[in-house]
Amino acid sequence: KKKFLDKDALDRSKRLEKVHVVIGPKSCDLDSLISAFTYAYFLDKVSPPGVLCLPVLNIPRTEFSYFTETRFILEELNISESFHIFRDEINLHQLNDEGKLSITLVGSSALASEDKTLESAVVKVINPVEPRDGELEFLESSSSLVLKELLREAPELITEQLAHVLRGSILFKWMTMDSEVSEQQEEILSILEEQFPNLPPRDDIISVLQETQHGAQSISIEQTMLKDLKELSDGEIKVAISTVNMTFEVRTGFLIHSPLQNKT
């Protein structure tokens, strides 16, 4: 099967005029990562000679073990971890200083605070529009936006393997949200299923993804907090925020409180 990237390409970047990096947020969620891989694959096919297109995982390699859903889908693609390019393995600032860098952001509309000086290199943002206050509609995934662009610009590049992983990413996004699949999402899923009738049934994919998601519970609290780490920055002040999901029991009409629940 065709690989989305080759780590040896990093060495070739020194001899190229341009390097186009496709990168997602630090959360490294399945949707943004699949979008980055797919869009870099698309750019590699349509860009002129001399431009190297690379998807980059926006985490250090040492943290990759925390992202169980992401690792699962990459294993499904038969892509070895040795082929991944992580944020600590490519010097984007040096490439930018040399005038070689272009960046496409997926799943996020802004760079991390330590990369703010790279803003001038951003040429495209692929990020779903958040629903307005009071709207409960399904938030479109980055994978869906990338798929729409491929269908519009280069439908011949969509293989059954690519359709399988994009559909899985879209279904996983829907699965993690408390809403129905929108008509727009249903339409784009149907296009893939009609074009590739041998794709596994949706229920089978959802079941496997649910099992993989439950496997995330085996990682430690520290790993969970690092996996979900989000950063807010205002000038020199940085605030890190993590979320840990917990289940509370209700007995005889009273909620059993966590010791932390009364703290602010």
pLDDT tens-digit profile, the chain (264 residues): 344 445 555 555 556 689 999 999 988 888 998 999 999 999 999 998 889 999 999 999 988 888 777 777 677 667 777 778 999 999 999 999 999 999 999 998 889 888 999 999 999 999 987 655 545 455 688 999 999 999 999 999 999 989 998 998 888 888 777 566 678 788 899 999 999 999 999 888 888 777 766 654 555 555 555 555 666 555 566 666 666 555 555 444 444 444 444 444
Is the overall model pTM greater than 0.85, yes or no? no
In angstroms, the Cα distances linking 96 to 39, 105, 115, 140, 219 are 20, 15, 11, 31, 36
d(CA 170, CA 224): 23
Q: Provide the token pair at 145.
A: 């936006």
Residue 123 confidence (pLDDT): 97
In angstroms, the Cα distances linking 23 to 64, 87, 189, 218, 229 are 15, 9, 24, 27, 17
Nearest CA among 243, 247, 245 for reference residue 228: 243
Which residue bears the tokens 């949707």? 31
Residue 90 confidence (pLDDT): 92
CB contact burial 14-52 (16+ within 10 A = b; e otherwise): eeeebbbbbbbbbbbbbbbbbbbbbbbbbbbeeeeeebb
Residue 236 confidence (pLDDT): 62
- Is-contact 150 11, C-beta < 8 A? no
d(CA 197, CA 46): 27
Residue 54 confidence (pLDDT): 93
d(CA 192, CA 196): 6
Q: Provide the token pair at 39.
A: 């869009």
